[in-house]
Amino acid sequence: MDLSITPIPAFTDNYFWLLERGGTAVVVDPGDAGPVERVLADRRLVLAAILVTHHHFDHIGGLKALTARHPVPVYGPAAEQRTIGALTHALQEGDRVWLAPLNLELQVWEVPGHTLGHIAYVGKDPRQQNSGAGFVLCGDTLFSAGCGRLFEGTAEQLHRSLGRLAALPPATRVYCTHEYTLANLAFAAVVEPDNAAVREEIGRVRELRARGEPSLPSTIGHELQINPFLRVEDPAVVVAVQRQSAIGASSPGEIFAALRRWKDGFRAPISP
């Protein structure tokens, strides 16, 4: 039986990703126990482990109630162990997480920026080892057509973290933890009005959202086409950021920082 990865929608725009194989499940960033318990009951799944990417409450709020009912290992960043509290396995760069019931190994990457201790889990479905079709559980670091806000880290840190993710094989599926895609695309279209891939994606995602379907997962290859934060070396992005921010010749890191500030102050025009 194949590994499946499906979203549990929660709050207004969170997704708790559920990794599942043969009746066993692992949940990522459960900010609330209720929606997770309902899915486990509906699909008659046994919870085997919990993965955490960072310590924000909408990613860890369900830990206490879930571990009270399911005494399972909880993996998360060592650097945020004190604030998360419930970790049984504190992880650092280069660690590997072996999830035996899923026959799945995940690599741990430290991807600071959104928070200082933020980690991502990089996986490869063992059945697809030769296709290169891996996936990444990237929390609030990379979003489709956008990236996380700088709550704790620097623009330089987030730029480097996103650069690592962007270097994954293009077919790598990207599981972000928020449905921010349409709002991000509205900004991407202002940065790059001539980017046809962005325009097409707005139409595609509008249709998906109208049907109540998630816009995720994305892929690294797709993000390289539509995500301005992965395109800070593209001449169109460079020119747009320089004009908006009134800055001259700039390094990619400086363009990235100015782009992030621009997005922080951006309010999407209200569409009818």
Residues with a known catalytic role? 54, 56, 58-59, 114, 140, 178
Q: What distance in Å separates the CA atoms of residue 228 and residue 147, rounded to the nearest whole number?
A: 9
For Zn ion, which stretch binds (CB under 5 A), given 25-33, 42-50, 51-59, 83-91? Answer: 51-59
Buried b or exposed e, range 217-256, using 16+ CB within 10 angstroms: bbbbebbebbbbbbbbebeebbebbbebbeeeebeeebbb
Residue 68 CA: distances (Å) to CA of 9, 43, 53, 180, 211:
22, 20, 20, 31, 36
Smallest separation, CB 75 to Zn ion (Å):
17
- CB 146 to Zn ion: min, Å: 13
CA angle 176, 195, 243 (to 5 degrees): 95
The region of 6-14, 56-64, 124-132, 257-265 touching Zn ion under the rule CB under 5 A is 56-64
Number of shown-chain residues binding Zn ion (CB under 5 A): 2
Nearest of 230, 260, 226 to residue 161 by alpha carbon: 230
Report the candidate in 190, 193, 90, 198 with the shortest Cα–Cα distance to residue 145: 198
Tell me if 80 sits within 8 A of 55, measured CB to CB: yes
Between residues 153 and 228, which has the closer beta carbon with respect to Zn ion? Answer: 153
Smallest CA-to-CA distance from 253 within 142, 114, 160, 136 is with 160
Taking the complex as a whole, how short is the minimal distance between the CB of residue 118 and Zn ion, in angstroms? Answer: 8
Nearer to Zn ion, 165 or 255 (CB): 165
How many Å apart are CA 249 and CA 82, to the nearest integer?
42
Among 30, 47, 49, 56, the residue binding Zn ion under the rule CB under 5 A is 56
Residue whose CB is less far from Zn ion, 56 or 231: 56
Q: Measured from the CB of residue 161, what is the shortest distance to Zn ion in angstroms?
A: 13
Binding characters for Zn ion, 136-155, by CB under 5 A (x = yes): ----x---------------
Q: Is 80 in the site for Zn ion (CB under 5 A)?
A: no
Q: Least Å distance between CB 206 and Zn ion? A: 26
Give burial (CB, 10 Å; 0-12/13-18/19+) of 175: buried
152: which DSSP letter? S
Stretch that binds Zn ion, among 37-45, 74-82, 133-141, 218-226 (CB under 5 A): 133-141
Nearer to Zn ion, 145 or 240 (CB): 145
Element (H, E) at 129: none
d(Cα 133, Cα 106) in Å, to the nearest integer? Answer: 14
Q: How far is the CB of 243 from Zn ion (least distance, A)?
A: 31
CB atoms within 10 A of CB 166: 18
Site residues (CB under 5 A) for Zn ion? 56, 140
